[in-house]
């Protein structure tokens, strides 16, 4: 995958996240494609740090554009998630899809809990039931959707050498 195709994937996923994915809502939550792609970037691309940060920041910016409650928060969290994922993938072997999906669930659970906690601190309170539904069910749904997006990215024949510059 060329660098421009990597950036095009982020734009396409952002459009799908905000439009087509509404048809896949389950109990009011939908999978987070941009977060999955951010995790995939940290897991398998192993490219230069500037490309990892640029992709994570661009994904976060796209998500922030459609989020009126906490502008800029997703950008920061996505960069932290990409760095954390890249660091963990160098220390621990995450080589099978079920393990990567489990890792995605843990990352999404942490992301949703931190995001909702920060939003509550800023005065955007939600009920405990809604918090648990978004945090647990949203993380599970995103993790279950991980293999679909992972296989699509693998089908694009990603080569690590394209990003090492």
Q: What is the mean pLDDT of residues 74-80?
A: 90
- Mean pLDDT over the full length of the chain: 82
Q: Could you tell me if 156 and 1 are in contact, meaning their C-beta atoms sit under 8 angstroms apart?
A: yes
Alpha helices in the chain (DSSP H): 3-18, 33-40, 49-65, 73-91, 97-121, 128-132, 138-155
Q: What is the pLDDT of residues 135-148, one digit of tens each?
A: 888 889 889 888 88
Confidence of residue 151 (pLDDT cuts 50, 70, 90): confident
Paired strand residues for 29: 26
- What domains, with CATH codes, occur in the chain? 3-163 (1.10.1760)
For residue 165, the model assigns a pLDDT of: 46
Q: What is the mean pLDDT of residues 55-74?
A: 84
Structure tokens at 7: 């950036």
Q: Who has greater pLDDT, 16 or 93?
A: 16
Residues 6+ apart with CB under 8 A from 50: none
**Predicted confidence (pLDDT) at residue 1 exceeds the cutoff of 60:** no
């Amino acid at each position: 995958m060329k660098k421009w195709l990597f950036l095009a994937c982020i734009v396409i996923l952002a459009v799908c996240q905000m439009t087509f994915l509404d048809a896949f809502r389950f109990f009011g939550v939908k999978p987070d494609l941009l977060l999955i792609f951010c995790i995939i970037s940290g897991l398998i691309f192993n490219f230069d740090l500037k490309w990892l940060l640029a992709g994570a920041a661009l994904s976060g910016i796209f998500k922030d554009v459609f989020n009126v409650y906490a502008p800029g928060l997703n950008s920061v969290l996505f960069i932290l998630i990409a760095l954390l994922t890249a660091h963990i993938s160098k220390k621990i072997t995450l080589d099978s899809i079920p393990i990567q999906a489990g890792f995605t669930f843990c990352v999404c659970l942490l992301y949703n809990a931190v995001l909702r906690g920060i939003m509550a601190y800023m005065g955007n309170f939600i009920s405990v039931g809604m918090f648990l539904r978004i945090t647990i069910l949203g993380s599970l749904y995103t993790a279950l959707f991980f293999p679909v997006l992972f296989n699509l990215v693998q089908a694009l024949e990603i080569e690590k050498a394209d990003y090492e510059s």
